């Protein structure tokens, strides 16, 4: 008798659960307001774009490759004390830096170089062109960027082709042509000429 009662109770619970589920579905389907609210939420959704463009990410990886990672201070070919990924600032006084820290430091420095490019160049740049000049500035500094883009017949005069002619000339250190710099300028030039129509935003 107890077993029969238990079975009946279980059946009643199952039937009740099914009824509630079915009722909920019917109520949802028959409520236009709920559907309308869902549609409004979708239509009001905000698209979130990545912080960095594809060209920027490729540039960072390229810079990391050319600079190489050094966990301890060393003297670069230009005779400057360096650590991490080409860092020459106050962190060179450390005896050790992790690759993660070096990458974060590199990102920060490249963003500073990006701002320098945007403030120095007076003509519109694509994301690829901005990335190329950011790499150039990180490697050679604000002064070299100014010489590259300023003056008659140069970039700031609207002559975009001048970059292709002048940028490869920045290949020397201590008066000597370095293979690494020749390759780096060629890579930056490929990036500059990338088929990219997206205009960089300040």
Please write down the HEC assignment for all residues of 177-189. Answer: ECHHHHHHHHHHH
Would you say residue 90 lies in a domain?
no
Element (H, E) at 174: none
**Inside any domain, residue 84:** no
- Cβ atoms of 167 and 189 within 8 Å: the answer is yes
What is the DSSP track for 117-172?
Answer: HHHH--S--BHHHHHHHHHHHHHH-HHHHHHHH-STTSGGGT-THHHHHHGGG--E
Please determine, for residue 65, whether its predicted confidence score (pLDDT) is greater than 70: yes
Residues catalogued as catalytic: 67
Whole domain around residue 172: which residue ranges?
A: 55-67+105-192
CATH code of the domain in which 118 resides = 1.10.530.40
Query: For 3-61, what is each residue's pLDDT tens digit?
Result: 444 444 445 444 444 443 443 333 333 444 444 444 444 344 443 445 788 999 999 99
More confident residue, 71 or 50: 71
Span 102-114, pLDDT tens digits: 999 999 999 999 9
Using alpha carbons, list the distances in angstroms from residue 59 to 30, 62, 66, 111, 168: 54, 5, 11, 12, 17
Instruction: Return d(Cα 115, Cα 200) in angstroms, integer.
Output: 12
Predicted structure pTM score: 0.73
The total number of structural domains that make up the chain: 1
pLDDT in tens, 92-150: 999 999 999 999 999 999 999 999 999 999 999 999 999 999 999 999 999 999 999 99
Among candidate residues 165, 120, 174, 160, the one with its CA nearest the CA of residue 144: 120
Residue 163 in any domain: the answer is yes
| Residue 31, domain member (yes or no) | no
């Amino acid at each position: 008798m107890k077993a029969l009662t238990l079975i009946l109770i279980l059946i009643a619970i199952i039937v009740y659960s099914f009824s509630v589920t079915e009722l909920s579905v019917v109520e949802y389907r028959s409520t236009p307001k709920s559907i309308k609210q869902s549609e409004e939420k979708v239509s009001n959704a905000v698209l979130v774009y990545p912080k960095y463009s594809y060209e920027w990410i490729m540039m960072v990886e390229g810079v990391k490759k050319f600079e190489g990672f050094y966990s301890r201070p060393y003297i670069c070919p230009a005779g400057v004390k360096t650590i991490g990924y080409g860092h020459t600032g106050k962190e060179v006084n450390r005896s050790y830096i992790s690759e993660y820290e070096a990458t974060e430091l590199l990102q920060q420095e490249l963003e500073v170089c990006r701002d320098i490019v945007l403030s120095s160049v007076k003509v519109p740049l694509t994301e690829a062109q901005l990335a190329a000049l950011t790499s150039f500035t990180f490697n050679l500094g604000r002064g070299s960027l100014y010489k590259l883009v300023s003056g008659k017949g140069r970039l700031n005069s609207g002559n975009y082709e001048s970059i292709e002619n002048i940028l490869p000339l920045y290949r020397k250190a201590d008066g000597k042509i370095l293979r690494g710099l020749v390759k780096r300028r060629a890579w930056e030039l490929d990036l500059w000429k990338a088929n990219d129509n997206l205009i960089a935003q300040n």
